[in-house]
Amino acid sequence: MNLPTTAALAPPVLRIRALRCEYPGETGPVHALRGVDLDVARSSFLAIMGPSGSGKTTLLHCAAGLQNPTSGSVELDGQDLRGLDQTQLARLRRRRVGFVFQSFNLLPALSTTDNVELPLRLDGRKAEPARTTELLTRVGLGNLSSRRPDQLSGGQKQRVAVARALITDPDIVFADEPTGALDIRSAREVLRLMRDLADHGQTTIMVTHDPVAASYSDAVLFIADGRIVDHLPRPTAQQVANRMAVLVESAEQAAQDTAANQ
């Protein structure tokens, strides 16, 4: 599936082909992904949604190089991940990919500045204070640079995490339920920030269960039973909720049919 691009002839920043992922289950292999094809345009903001167990998190992890697929290919800006060993994959993740997680993953003993600069230090690179200041100002935390995580609100912690994801100037940012642990106001602040980042050229892929969060994206990709089944460009929250209701009902019916046949 091809998603809108800012330049018609520009190659996608992420290209996925025939991606399959299986792992052992109690009654046989679990098919988490079943031949997914996907092109993600540079500077786009993509949301991924689907019922529980549909494969959305597995897709995110495979795309980010965190999990090896059973078969198929993932290319990040032309780099085929299949040819990389674990050391090379770790280097790619440190230098070309940013991550934002639901649980923030900030180190409690470090200041806001030190948490943001941590990916550079782990990669053996020196942080540039001006770059850190620019990012903290951009996410609205320029006056909180010396505070530790326990002195920040949930929304502020997540904005630190966004700044940390951007410090390496990544090709793409992967966000896994970035608003799942936030109240409505804090979630709105983070989503507005992510929308602004996309408007200024940052490619982002976000897994979410929240139709409101998904409505901030350029397009929503729907996954069910390991397959891409639909996508909506620039949808409203209500459109997303309606489509999800159909997918969840179908998944529940399929589970009931499977149980009845066992």
Q: What is the pLDDT of residue 251?
A: 74
SS (H, E, C) 136-189: HHHCCCCCCCCCCHHHCCHHHHHHHHHHHHHCCCCCEEEEECCCCCCCHHHHHH
Contact 61, 67 (CB under 8 A): yes
SS3 for 122? helix
Instruction: Confirm whether 8 is domain-assigned.
Output: no
Contact between 168 and 120 under an 8 Å Cβ cutoff? The reply is yes
> Residue 197 falls within a domain, yes or no?
yes
Q: pLDDT grade, residue 11 (50/70/90)? A: confident
Q: Evaluate whether residue 226 is within a structural domain.
A: yes
pTM: 0.88
Is residue 6 pLDDT above 80, yes or no?
no
> Does residue 4 fall inside a structural domain?
no
**Per-residue pLDDT tens digits for 165-208:** 999 999 999 999 999 888 998 999 999 999 999 999 999 999 99
Give the CATH number, domain containing residue 102. 3.40.50.300
Q: Is residue 1 part of a domain?
A: no
pLDDT band at 223 (very low <50, low <70, confident <90, very high): very high
In a domain, residue 160? The reply is yes
Q: Domain containing 169: what range?
A: 14-257
Render pLDDT for 17-40 as a digit per residue (tens, 0 to 9). 999 999 888 888 889 999 999 999
Over residues 114-171, the pLDDT tens digits come to: 999 999 999 999 999 999 999 999 899 999 999 999 999 999 999 999 999 999 999 9
Looking at the chain, how many residues does it have? 262
Is 100 within the bounds of a domain?
yes
What was the pLDDT predicted at 26? 81
Name the domain count of the chain: 1
Helix, coil or strand: residue 101:
strand
Is 6 inside a domain boundary? no
Burial 213-237 (b: 16+ CB within 10 A, else e): bbbbbbbbbbbbbbebbebbeebee
Find out whether 179 and 213 touch, Cβ atoms under 8 Å.
Answer: yes
